[in-house]
Structure 1
Amino acid sequence: MVLIAASAYPASSAGLNAMENFMRTVKSGKADFVQVVTAPPKDGQAARSKTSRGSFSFVRPQRFRFDYRQPFEQTIVADGQTIWLYDVDLNQVTARKQSQALSSTPAALVAAAVDVKDLQSDFVLQEQPDKDGLSWLQATPKAKDGQIQQLRVGFKGDLLAVLEIADSFGQRSVLTFQNFEANAAVPASTFQFKPPAGADVVRQ
């Protein structure tokens, strides 16, 4: 574990400290989540939002799983080598090499990186003012060619509470985590994925 010297950041760096402690002390976890995605206004119409619900689990490093249950079923699994995305309605599986797809994504902040120094190779980290009882950290991807423009992470104490994502299409996605269980026992089988029989598999 690479600790950050106290002089490296302002004394008020609650968000950075929370991220540091989260990555250092929480090696696995699971939670329920609510995700609200808001599209930008179009043709004079008001911004539109859609809400999804599901569950999330991870084991550091490099393994995580999102199971969307409402309103549509979708599964995203990272097994350490491949990221699998399974759309139940389309009966389609998309597979991407994890090493090429993960570094500047929200999942890198939550589950993939091993410490803050690791994060800083892909993100510019900036302290944000406390708000809504949470400590906030802003992360801007260093790569300029990705879809993610900016991320904000909110912590309640040292536990992940909110993840806000702004993308290059003007969309804003807010994931709120509930019933977070730090260092939960997550079976290895959680991160094993086999495309269902008959599913169309697209490898990228």
Structure 2
Amino acid sequence: MNMLRKAVCTFVLGTLSIVPIMSTTVFAAPVAASEQQAAASLINQLSGLQRLTANFEQTTKVHNAKATQNKSLTAQHMNQTFTGVMKVERPGKFYWEIKSPVNQTIISSGKVVWIYDPDLQQAIRQDLDDQVANTPALLLSGNTNQIMEAYKVTQPDKSKTYYTLLPKNKESAFQSLTISFNGKNKPSLMVLQDSLGQTTYVKFSQVNVNGAIPASTFTFNPPKGTDVIDQ
């Protein structure tokens, strides 16, 4: 599931205006927040968030021939919807499980990330360093200062709680990432887009903030017979 680790987001907000005959309707353009205001607003959204659980629905769309020609993409990745469960605990701990139509789990203890494919009996182990720009769950579970260092934060409409984050590292897997909140601490949508023309939409539901999560959720011991690959 390449898209879980290498995705980028762009959020496009469109406004449709209907103008009746013999009438002129003027809509005020949204006022963008300054970079400092946007960062402060996002920090406010994340403040007080210690633990988070939610269901998610993830869909990746392919928009151009360049993406279609990418051999790393299979028909399974294109225009396919995945559903699962996300659990995070700040800082750095997260659990991201795809349950349908295939099974894959990504788990972090705060230091190490495991990517486990039970069907393949394979587990990839890698350091958490520099992963904040590669996984939506890491954004939600990450240290706020680390997030601000990794991204330029924008808020296209300062009256709305959605934010477009632009990675400062030019080699990041993401070009941009937008996150929208529905109430304090409650993410409702992420939209990610990469340079290959893939757009990934992650919709959250049944969001629970600061509920109890067992510590064992964020530990992983490869089952017997699992092929472990270090990266």
If the length of structure 2 is used for normalisation, what is the TM-score? 0.74
Question: Contact (CA 8 Å) 2:39, 2:148: kept in 1 or not?
Answer: no
Q: Larger radius of gyration, structure 1 or 2?
A: 2
Gaps of 5+ in 2: 1-32, 69-77
Query: One-letter code of the match for 2:179?
Result: V
The 1:118/1:146 distance shift into structure 2, 3 A limit, reads closer
Identity %: 26
Question: Which structure has the highest strand share of the two?
Answer: 1
Query: One-letter code of the match for 2:133?
Result: S
RMSD across aligned positions (CA): 2.2
Question: Contact (CA 8 Å) 2:153, 2:163: kept in 1 or not?
Answer: yes
Worse-matched range after superposition: 117-126 or 89-98: 117-126
Question: Contact (CA 8 Å) 1:108, 1:119: kept in 2 or not?
Answer: no
In 2, distance between residues paired with 1:201 and 1:163?
30
Q: Counterparts of 1:1-204 in structure 2 under 5 Å?
A: 10=34, 16=39, 19-42=42-65, 48-100=78-130, 102-105=131-134, 106-113=136-143, 115=144, 117-129=145-157, 135-158=161-184, 159-204=186-231
Instruction: Tell me how far 1:110 sits from its aligned partner.
Output: 1.0
In 1, distance between residues paired with 2:111 and 2:96?
16
Q: Say which structure, 1 or 2, has more relative contact order (CA 8 Å, 6+ apart).
A: 2
Worse-matched range after superposition: 52-61 or 141-150: 141-150
Gaps of 5+ in 1: 1-8
In 2, distance between residues paired with 1:70 and 1:125?
33
Structure 1 moving runs of 4+ over 4 Å: 15-18
Query: One-letter code of the match for 1:126?
Result: T
If the length of structure 1 is used for normalisation, what is the TM-score? 0.83
